[in-house]
Amino acid sequence: MLSLLSLLLAILPAHCSYYYTQGQDWNGTCQNGINQSPVDISTGSFPDTPYTEKILLSKDNIVQGRYQLNPHLDFYAEYTVLAARTVEFTNANVVVDLGNGGGSLVFMSENEDVKIYEALQMHFHSPAEHTFDGESRHYDLELHIVHRRYNVLDSEVTRLQNATGNTTEVDESHNKLLAVLAIFFDVEKGGNVTNEFIEDLNLKNLSGNVTHMKTQTLPELKVHLNKIISNFNKEKLYHYDGSLTTPPCSQTVAWLVVDDPQPITREQLKVFQEYWQNNQNFSGGNGNNRKTQPVGDRVIYKHANHDKWEHTVYLQGYSLRASGCLIMTLILSLLF
């Protein structure tokens, strides 16, 4: 178990990330990988109707559908309210520990493949890393909730660790070691309104009180992630296979990206901007966001509303809505 943990730590975001060129000078897989993150998502490129089973079964069509509206893609997450958790302050991030009971995520991929992930940690990027309809428009803040696949084998972690520098290695879809849920905050698009989740974190005096490169417990910290995920619009959920956005940029992440910016006040945002984006001592005034990477041959999936498409799916021989919810309820009842 210890070896598994140390291997996992080795492939999680490195402590020495710097952003002077927004990651363009990082090497290895970061430079040569073909499934890198973040990406820009073209929201207008999705078809009006979801893929049907018939089309999904045809390999040619899967490749053809770079932007796919998919009625199977979904997730369900449940997080515990945490207090006074350990926070690791690196030079480039504030990493809040969510391990050992922080929560679970059940991810149903585009092919109805169900995988369970457990929460590991969360951290922020300011400005946001993923963009929509143009690489230049970044939301103010992006939260990454990092999860590790439940019951993953040591041998698989080793394989992925060893594959870090191999550019020809493309991990199989639906078999990702990590799942990262990306949630956005934006003063303009989400509204200049106090965000309770951010307020609960009590990070107000962050820049004045923390020592970089140190792990400490913040007694006032409270993490209430359910407050965020109960708010957003799942019709804006996108999924693609990608990588860590910091070295070694391992291509082992199932990304779940929700283009539904949450409210945040300018005052709340200031804490993060003073730490990175507006901090001349940090990467010359750049934020801690990596530049968007080419999508290449990857397919980007978008969640199709169950209610709206239930009829269509039913016509294919079964009801996704019933099966999906039932599976998730069963799995979560086993976990908690």
Whose Cβ is closer to Zn ion: residue 138's or residue 144's? Answer: 144
Amino acid, res. 332: L
Please give the structure tokens belonging to residue 330.
């069963």
Q: Is 147 in the site for Zn ion (CB under 5 A)?
A: no
Query: Which span sits near Zn ion by CB under 5 A: 97-105, 141-149, 247-255, 300-308?
Result: 141-149
Least spacing, CB of residue 255 vs Zn ion, in Å:
10
Residue with CB nearest Zn ion?
Answer: 144
C-alpha to C-alpha distance for 293 and 37, rounded to whole angstroms: 6
Nearest of 295, 7, 258, 264 to residue 145 by alpha carbon:
258
Please list every residue from 26 through 65 that binds Zn ion, using CB under 5 A: none
Phi and psi torsions of 35, nearest 5°: -125, 60
Site for Zn ion in 169-188 (CB under 5 A): none
Residue 217, beta-bridge partner list: 86
Token pair belonging to 107: 């991810």
- Dist CA 123 CA 63 (whole Å): 33
144 binds Zn ion, rule: CB under 5 A? yes
Nearer to Zn ion, 72 or 144 (CB): 144
Of 144 and 149, the one with the shorter C-beta distance to Zn ion is 144
Please identify, among the stretches 143-151, 266-274, 300-308, 313-321, the one whose residues bind Zn ion according to the rule CB under 5 A. 143-151
**CA–CA distance, 324 with 107 (Å, rounded to integer):** 10
72 binds Zn ion (CB under 5 A): no
Q: What residue type is 18 in one-letter code?
A: Y
Q: How many residues bind Zn ion (CB under 5 A)?
A: 1
Q: Which is nearer to Zn ion, 290 or 306 (by Cβ)? A: 290
Nearer to Zn ion, 125 or 302 (CB): 125
Residue range at the interface with Zn ion (CB under 5 A); choices 57-65, 74-82, 137-145, 165-173: 137-145
Looking at beta carbons only, is 11 or 69 nearer to Zn ion? 11
Residue 240, SS3?
Answer: strand
In angstroms, give the least distance from the CB of 123 to Zn ion: 5
Handedness of CA 154, 156, 159, 163 (dihedral sign): negative
**Pairing of the two strands 253-262 and 178-185:** parallel
Which parts of this chain interact with Zn ion (CB under 5 A)?
Answer: 144
